[in-house]
């Protein structure tokens, strides 16, 4: 089994203190990841965890994230966890999103599931809606999109990056409709609706 470090290293273009990773995406993706930057949180032989936030040059109207999203990658899985909350003119809004893909291979396909909860509260009256979807993608639907990594790049080549954590096992399938890259961009766009 290839470690996630090996997979990431093959897809990495090194710059001084930044690098670009190729992130899994499937299905239609209309929004670019150019306004999102990643920070490496942790790397081991089983998974790489990235925190996604607005790129330094992104304006609040394009990328209104207040807290980072989490992207977790393994050799055959990818998941994104995102929460966005805001309060404007007495209206509180919150969006929670969990997306995950079980990737057979980039030449075979993937199965992705997504669960999104959107809620609003005004003067003590609350409403929310939940959407859950599962989609299968063929090899023709799979792409890898560029994602800028602007912090924690040295963790990708640290000795811990090739070690299996104690009690570690291969990552399993996680909960996901669009690919992870598309979802990250879509989550930013959805958050922009609240601003």
Please state the pTM of the whole predicted model. Answer: 0.68
Residue 91 belongs to a domain = yes
Q: Which residues form the domain of 140? A: 19-162
Are 87 and 113 within 8 A, CB to CB?
no
User: CA–CA separation, 65 vs 39, rounded Å?
Assistant: 14
pLDDT-based confidence at residue 1 (cuts at 50, 70, 90): very low
CA gap 54, 38 in Å, rounded: 8
- Tell me, yes or no, whether 141 lies in a domain: yes
Domain count, the chain: 1
Q: Do residues 183 and 84 touch, judged by C-beta distance below 8 A?
A: no
Is 187 among the domain residues?
Answer: no
The string of pLDDT tens digits covering residues 21-79 is 888 888 876 456 778 888 999 988 888 899 988 888 777 667 767 778 898 888 788 88
Domain membership of residue 38 (yes or no) is yes
Please report, for residues 13, 97, 125, 139, the alpha-carbon distance to residue 129 in angstroms, rounded to integers and kept in the order given.
40, 12, 14, 32
In-domain check, residue 10: no
pLDDT digits (tens, 9 = 90+) for 86-105: 888 888 888 888 989 998 87
- The pLDDT tens digits for 148-176 are 898 988 888 888 878 888 766 544 333 33
The answer to whether 119 and 127 are in contact (CB under 8 A) is yes
pLDDT at 191: 46
Looking at the domain assignment, is residue 63 inside a domain? yes
């Amino acid at each position: 089994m290839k470690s996630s470090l090996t997979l990431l290293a093959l897809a990495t273009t090194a710059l001084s203190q930044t690098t670009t990773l190729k992130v899994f995406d499937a299905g239609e993706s209309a929004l670019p990841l150019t306004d999102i930057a990643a920070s490496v949180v942790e790397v081991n032989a089983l998974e790489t965890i990235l925190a996604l936030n607005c790129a330094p040059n992104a304006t609040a109207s394009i990328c209104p994230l207040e807290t980072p999203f989490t992207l977790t990658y393994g050799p055959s899985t990818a998941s994104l966890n995102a929460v966005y909350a805001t309060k404007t003119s007495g209206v509180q809004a919150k969006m929670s999103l969990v997306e995950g893909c079980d990737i057979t291979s980039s030449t075979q396909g993937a199965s992705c599931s997504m669960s999104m909860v959107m809620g609003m509260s005004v003067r003590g009256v609350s409403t929310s809606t939940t959407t859950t979807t599962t989609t299968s993608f063929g090899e023709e639907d799979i792409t890898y999109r560029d994602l800028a990594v602007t912090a924690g790049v040295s963790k990708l080549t640290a000795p811990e990056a090739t070690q299996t954590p104690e009690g570690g096992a291969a990552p399993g399938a996680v909960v996901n409709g669009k690919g992870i890259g598309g979802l990250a961009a879509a989550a930013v766009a959805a958050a922009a609706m609240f601003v």
